[in-house]
Amino acid sequence: MVDITSVLPDLGGALDDVAIGDHYSAGVGSPWLRANFVSSIDGAATVENKSGGLGGEADRRVFDLLRTLCDVVLVAAGTVKAEGYGAMILDAASVEARVAAGLKPQPTFAIVSGSLSLDPKSRVFADAPVRPLIFTTESAPPNAALSRGADIVVCGATTVDPVAMVAELAKRQLTRIHCEGGPSLFGSLLAADVVDELCLTVSPLLVGGESSRIAKGVVPDTRTMSLAGILRSEDTLLLRYVRTRP
């Protein structure tokens, strides 16, 4: 397993998963919306339309570990399709860590889709250990097949309203929200100012080209964040920023 050490705060030496979990749990409120992204040094969020080409072993380790700290994993439809998500099933070690921390064995998988053009036969739904949620809009066409495999929650007229979505999650006791993207969803979460934390892996790559950044769309005001921590693994930085609100 690749070593991950701390830069800020200095925790000394290679960190085990418990120490990394503690690092990411410090200062977390309720409800809390954390987003996790990986980017190249020059700001690319994808290589050949996937994030996989950016993240190394340390990014993968933290990516997996952050899923053990949440009630719900929130992902938009574009990323579910581009990254080929299956059912949200964590391995036995992650389940053990979650249960020890007082969480349900598996997180709920919540998907954001305005169009509801998702495959009801996908493993996302067929193999789900917990019935997934789909957040959509009043203008979405009815999709009876999809509603057999997931709870469909309407949150907004033509786009999903992030404030209403966070409130719907809270109603279901899903207050530790972990968002894995993608950039369009992250942009709308930033626009609504519901993001409490951004975990950003800076991968030691220069990519160039036209690939997207981690956030798309219009954010009315810039959002100020405070640096809450830096982990390092070889040439990769794992940054933790939390939202500074007046």
Ligand X SMILES: NC(=O)c1ccc[n+]([C@@H]2O[C@H](COP(=O)([O-])OP(=O)(O)OC[C@H]3O[C@@H](n4cnc5c(N)ncnc54)[C@H](OP(=O)(O)O)[C@@H]3O)[C@@H](O)[C@H]2O)c1
Pairing of strands 236-243, 197-203: antiparallel
Per-residue burial over 181-191, b if 16 or more Cβ lie within 10 Å, else e, is bbbbbbbbbbb
For residue 61, the minimal CB distance to ligand X (Å) is 15
Q: Does 94 bind ligand X (CB under 6 A)?
A: no
Q: Which of 31, 47, 50, 175 binds ligand X (CB under 6 A)?
A: 50
DSSP 130: S
When the beta carbons of 32 and 85 are compared against ligand X, the nearer one is 85
Q: Does 110 bind ligand X (CB under 6 A)?
A: no
Structure tokens at 244: 């500074």
Query: What strands lie across the sheet with 151-154, from one edge to the other?
Result: 5-8, 225-233, 236-243, 197-203, 32-40, 176-179, 72-76, 108-112, 133-136, 151-154
Q: Which of 183, 202, 233, 240 binds ligand X (CB under 6 A)?
A: 183
When the beta carbons of 84 and 105 are compared against ligand X, the nearer one is 84
For residue 235, the minimal CB distance to ligand X (Å) is 17
Q: Does 199 bind ligand X (CB under 6 A)?
A: no
Q: Which of 68, 94, 108, 113 binds ligand X (CB under 6 A)?
A: 113
Q: Does 120 bind ligand X (CB under 6 A)?
A: no
Q: Does 173 bind ligand X (CB under 6 A)?
A: no
User: Which H/E stretch holds residue 153?
Assistant: strand 151-154
Q: Give the interface size with ligand X as a residue count (CB under 6 A).
A: 32
User: Which H/E stretch holds residue 57?
Assistant: helix 57-67
Q: Residue 72 pairs with which residues in a beta bridge? A: 108, 177
For residue 185, the minimal CB distance to ligand X (Å) is 4
Q: Which of 82, 103, 130, 237 binds ligand X (CB under 6 A)?
A: 82
